[in-house]
Structure 1
Amino acid sequence: MMTVSCTARTGPAPISGDVPEATGWRAEVVVGGLDHPWSIAWLPDGSALVTERAGRLRLIRDGKLDPEPIVGLPPVLAFGQGGLLDVALHPDFADNHLVYLSFVTGTPEANRTALARGRFDGHALRDTEVIFRNADPKSGGQHFGSRIVWLPDKTLLLNVSDGGNPPLSFNGENIRNQAQNPGTHFGKVLRLKDDGTPAPDNPFVGQPGAKPEIWTLGHRNIQGMTRDPVSGRIWANEHGSRGGDELNVIEGGHNYGWPVVTYSIEYWGPKISDETSRPGITDPILVWTPSKAPSGLTFYTGEVYPGWKGDLFSGALKFRQIRHLKLNGTRVVGEEKLTIGQRVRDVRQGPDGYLYVLTDEDDGALLRILPVGK
């Protein structure tokens, strides 16, 4: 495992490129035949719900994919990078059977990131309602987010991305500039009550012109977000533009800089900003350059893999791998890769203590990571 030098969260962030290959593991296919799966959530009986970006919610039961999708979803716009995205269970799912879905709604010319919930009866979602929508529509098929993370107080975090790359505009300027505008939801992490309304103690509540849902701002396109069950810290990885993918610890009220402070450059070459650090801007924990295109993110808490307990695992779409990150508090002290060979969309720990991977392909799959010898 490569050692990473990182001693503080101020000033230049450590840059990560290629890293050594992890040993002592192999991958096996659990279920195939998934169409660009995006997220997975395990039910109390050991079955699992899987979202497909095209707008289908699938059930894996007894190790097999049910042939018919679950009905009762809201209308989903599957366009570009958008569609049906994250799935998460309410903390009290055993009692209320509530399933939460992030998705894209609208038309190619006017679309929004949204959040819905419905009661799962084992075959369908019932009483489904859309409980949050981005306040402003945008055009195009880029940058929607969107992960869901529950907090111990039963509020949830939901991220909404910056809306897209130039020349896409909003109110006469590049839409990505809205990540710095507290008057929009673009480029933000939001904190909501379980009914989709703003948490009343959010950091921007009462600030004139600010959206009360905002928890943090200055994000480009978060594709993985998770809570460390030991420390309680929220971690996220997000796409840079060309280079500059970031690993961050998400803290309420903080500004993460996009696009005024960034390591990214434009896809056509020039710097997006001359600043990579600034007082009042929270620096990344780690920057991946070249871009690995970060996706799902999870902490491993089980006992299956020797030496991996407490470590962080970050998917990579472009590099077709998982990055295994060893931490010391908020410092990354080691990094290695698990080469999957397919676009990794999500990585999660299953109830059996194994790590599972969703591959973002036309014929996508759910994979299980096994220690060598099993």
Structure 2
Amino acid sequence: MKSSMSARAWKFATLAGAVTVLTLSVNAGTSGTKAAPKEVRAMQPRATVTQLYQQNCLNCHGPSGEGGGAGTKTFLTREKFAQELDKPYFDAIKKGVPDMAMPSYGEAMSDEQIWGLVVLIREMQGRALRREFGSPRAVNGVYKSQRHNFKVETVVDTGKGLKTPWGIDWLPTGEMLVTNRPGGVVVVKNGNVMPLNGVPASLELGQGGMMEVSVHPQFRENGWVYLAYTEPAASGRGGNTKIVRGRVRVTATAATWSEQKTIWQSGPEFYTGAGVHFGSRIVFDGKGHLFFVVGERGGNMMAQELTNPFGKIYRVKDDGTIPTDNPFYSRVPADKPYLRAIWSLGHRNPQGLVMTPKGELWATEHGPRGGDELNLITKGANYGWPVVAFSINYNEIPQWTPWPAAGQNISMPTWRWMPSIGASGLDVARGRAFPNWNGDLLAGGLSGANLDRIRTNGAKLVEREELLHGMGRVREVATGPDGNIYVALNQPDKIIRLVPAP
């Protein structure tokens, strides 16, 4: 289990550039004497991070962090983008750097405002590094990564029956099932796309709709396929995430869904009109359980409460019954038995979930602006939202810091994407196609339009590289039965795959 931040060792040692990049005043003239720190005025509580930067940092560090004013150096380098510099950046702003004549801002700004400046710096760095180093590019159709070369092929092109494709899985007979968020599921067989008739009606409510499809690992024996979708409220107002299973039959000319059974749903009082943060993914652990996600629906602190279904990851048996060894089984309200399925809490909106062959459950999660996360999910753990976060509000008003207070047992992320990528879709590489990637995580991004490969050792990240960028919003990533890597794109709506290349 990951340790809490209070037990986590930050690198406080003076790192090359960690303080100089934040110096607002440096040596004056050529005499070697140092300028006195400038006077610092208290900031307004509702100041945006842009206002904070413009009033306190721009003159020395430039509009985009390029430096130059008063002799400051740029912080737009790979070395200064390292995540272990987060705390030194924060401390340099808060405590000042007297040797470099940089004033302390700890009295003028709140911790949340100081962290907001760190987020803004990270965004400047991310944009600059993208401009400098660009995106992965194919040469004669071949992409060269650290451990494999690959090509990209189109599996289902635009205009072929896909509408915001959301989830992908395969039947043992080779057919690919794909959910369309506006509603419905399609079957891809031998290049042809046909609808899966009889699936439940879903509600396209903002980010909600028909979301996940997951085939039971023992499908050949039991024939079950599972769906996660936004069920419309009986009252006609709003909806909530629901998990069902049914049987799928595919012939040469038609595909049908039947024998539907509810696996999990919340009480009707939690069917809301909020159009955000529904989750959801479904994965199996090979031991008769499935895990799934319900986002916090914009409810923020509801993610910390055991009295509602929002902002949680759940575990149930594959028939929908709830294991009595779930961590909160006896702690939830007696009139809400569906909450006994809670496995972890403190989530904002995970839209990536995978169980690795080693039995590790990983999730990728949307932060607001600045801090999407990769988390190793463990029984009963609290992942912090919205008590701690690596983010700022979309309106640029700082609200959080990433450090728990004393006594708060918060599990911290293995990796956070700063700038945010809109984390969505997560799987693990397996099979013969890319043997040097086997066991690595494959994570997608919507706003980032990226596909990352991530190698971990326990809860520690040991290697990360970007495989694709700029081909579309990556909604889903799935390793196919052939070992190739399939990617569902939105804008444009299509499915591509990565295949080995010499």
Fold-level match, TM-score > 0.5?
Answer: yes
In structure 2, relative to structure 1, the CA distance for the partners of 1:274 and 1:329 (3 Å cut) is closer
Tell me, yes or no, if the aligned pair for 1:56 and 1:70 is still in contact at 8 Å.
Answer: yes
Alignment partner, residue 124 of structure 1: 256
Note the 1:315-334 alignment, pairs <5 A.
315-334=444-463
Alignment partner, residue 276 of structure 2: 142
In structure 2, relative to structure 1, the CA distance for the partners of 1:113 and 1:105 (3 Å cut) is same
Alignment partner, residue 378 of structure 2: 251
Note the 1:52-63 alignment, pairs <5 A.
52-63=180-191
CA distance in structure 1 between the partners assigned to 2:401 and 2:227 by the alignment: 38
Instruction: After superposition, give the CA deviation of every residue in 1:200-250 in whole Å (9 maximum; x if it has no partner).
Output: 210001115382111000000001000110x21100000000011000000
Alignment partner, residue 10 of structure 1: 8
Alignment partner, residue 343 of structure 1: 473
Q: Does 1:360 align with 2:487?
A: no
Instruction: After superposition, give the CA deviation of every residue in 1:45-100 in whole Å (9 maximum; x if it has no partner).
Output: 1111111101111001123223xx11111120012111000101122211221110
- Shift in Å, 1:306: 5.7
CA distance in structure 2 between the partners assigned to 1:83 and 1:11 by the alignment: 42
Alignment partner, residue 181 of structure 1: 305
In structure 2, relative to structure 1, the CA distance for the partners of 1:121 and 1:89 (3 Å cut) is same
Structure 2: gaps (5+ residues): 1-5, 11-82, 87-121, 137-142
- Higher helix proportion (structure 1 or 2): 2
Deviates more, 1:10-19 or 1:71-80: 10-19
**Which residue of 392, 409, 412 corresponds with 1:280?**
409
Greater length-normalized contact order (CA 8 Å, ≥ 6 residues apart):
1
CA distance in structure 1 between the partners assigned to 2:9 and 2:471 by the alignment: 35
Alignment partner, residue 170 of structure 1: none
In structure 2, relative to structure 1, the CA distance for the partners of 1:46 and 1:339 (3 Å cut) is same
Q: Does 1:162 align with 2:162?
A: no
Alignment partner, residue 347 of structure 2: 219
**Which residue of 92, 98, 104 corresponds with 2:230?**
104
CA distance in structure 1 between the partners assigned to 2:230 and 2:218 by the alignment: 25
- Shift in Å, 1:252: 0.9
Tell me, yes or no, if the aligned pair for 2:306 and 2:332 is still in contact at 8 Å.
Answer: no
Tell me, yes or no, if the aligned pair for 2:387 and 2:404 is still in contact at 8 Å.
Answer: no
Q: Does 1:27 align with 2:156?
A: no
| One-letter code aligned to 2:320 | G
Higher gyration radius (CA) = 2
In structure 2, relative to structure 1, the CA distance for the partners of 1:289 and 1:109 (3 Å cut) is farther
Instruction: After superposition, give the CA deviation of every residue in 1:4-61 in whole Å (9 maximum; x if it has no partner).
Output: xxxx983667579568747232211011221110011111111111111011110011
CA distance in structure 2 between the partners assigned to 1:309 and 1:116 by the alignment: 31
Structure 1: gaps (5+ residues): 1-7, 165-174
Q: Does 1:83 align with 2:206?
A: no
Deviates more, 1:56-65 or 1:155-164: 56-65
Tell me, yes or no, if the aligned pair for 2:169 and 2:177 is still in contact at 8 Å.
Answer: yes
Tell me, yes or no, if the aligned pair for 1:187 and 1:220 is still in contact at 8 Å.
Answer: yes
Tell me, yes or no, if the aligned pair for 2:372 and 2:421 is still in contact at 8 Å.
Answer: yes
Deviates more, 1:121-130 or 1:43-52: 121-130
- Shift in Å, 1:120: 0.9
| One-letter code aligned to 1:76 | S
Deviates more, 1:126-135 or 1:184-193: 126-135
| One-letter code aligned to 1:143 | H
| One-letter code aligned to 1:342 | G
Tell me, yes or no, if the aligned pair for 1:9 and 1:284 is still in contact at 8 Å.
Answer: no
CA distance in structure 2 between the partners assigned to 1:152 and 1:369 by the alignment: 27
Root-mean-square deviation (Å)? 2.2
CA distance in structure 1 between the partners assigned to 2:352 and 2:482 by the alignment: 22
Alignment partner, residue 169 of structure 1: none
CA distance in structure 2 between the partners assigned to 1:121 and 1:146 by the alignment: 24
- Shift in Å, 1:130: 2.8
Note the 1:186-197 alignment, pairs <5 A.
186-197=310-321
- Shift in Å, 1:302: 2.2
Q: So what's the TM-score if we normalise by structure 2?
A: 0.67
Q: So what's the TM-score if we normalise by structure 1?
A: 0.89
CA distance in structure 2 between the partners assigned to 1:317 and 1:208 by the alignment: 34
Alignment partner, residue 104 of structure 2: none
Tell me the secondary structure at the aligned position of residue 221 of structure 2: helix
- Higher strand proportion (structure 1 or 2): 1
Tell me the secondary structure at the aligned position of residue 94 of structure 1: helix
Deviation beyond 4 Å, 4+ runs, structure 1: 11-20
Alignment partner, residue 40 of structure 1: 168
Number of equivalent positions: 353
% of aligned pairs identical?
Answer: 38
CA distance in structure 2 between the partners assigned to 1:9 and 1:365 by the alignment: 45
Alignment partner, residue 312 of structure 1: 441
CA distance in structure 2 between the partners assigned to 1:110 and 1:99 by the alignment: 26
